[in-house]
Amino acid sequence: QCQLTGLWRNDQDSLMEISAVRDNGDFQGKYLTRVTLAGGCARASPMKGAQQQPGEGGWPTFAFTVRWDKFSNATTAFAGQCFVDAGGKETLTTMWLRREAVGSLEEDWKATR
């Protein structure tokens, strides 16, 4: 069974730390991104999420949001699933949607990636 609690690294060298998953599936932690930052310096941003409790033999799905703290006016939502391979390695697969603030409704078209 996958355990979301712990430190995770993605292929862009960003880090995510999930402190604990509560009995109801809620979790929180911090996300340290290296993407789009000058100088390659990571900055921690708060994250909150929820894990769907897996059925017997199933792999849990989850979702979380990151509020990019102090360096961006954007929020990103992630949704994914945790898998364990035959060797016991845990892997998270996710998709994300990033929303950045814009100044008007006419600029809405460019706000979501």
Residue 110 tokens read as: 């460019």
CA geometry: angle 54, 47, 52, nearest 5 deg: 10
Going along the chain from its start, the domains and CATH numbers come out as 6-110 (2.40.128.30)
pLDDT in tens, 96-112: 999 988 999 999 999 99
| pLDDT band, very low/low/confident/very high, at 113 (cuts 50, 70, 90) | confident
Closest CA relative to residue 3, chosen from 73, 69, 79, 88: 88
- C-alpha to C-alpha distance for 101 and 110, rounded to whole angstroms: 10
Each as own residue / partner, the long-range contacts of residues 81-90 (CB below 8 Å, 24 or more positions apart, any chain) are: 82/2, 82/4, 83/2, 83/59, 84/1, 84/2, 84/59, 90/2, 90/3
Whether this prediction's pTM lies above 0.75 is answered by: yes
pLDDT in tens, 12-62: 888 899 998 998 999 999 998 876 555 556 578 899 999 987 666 678 899
CA geometry: angle 35, 49, 103, nearest 5 deg: 55
Residue 94 tokens read as: 């996710």
* Beta bridge pairs of residue 107: none
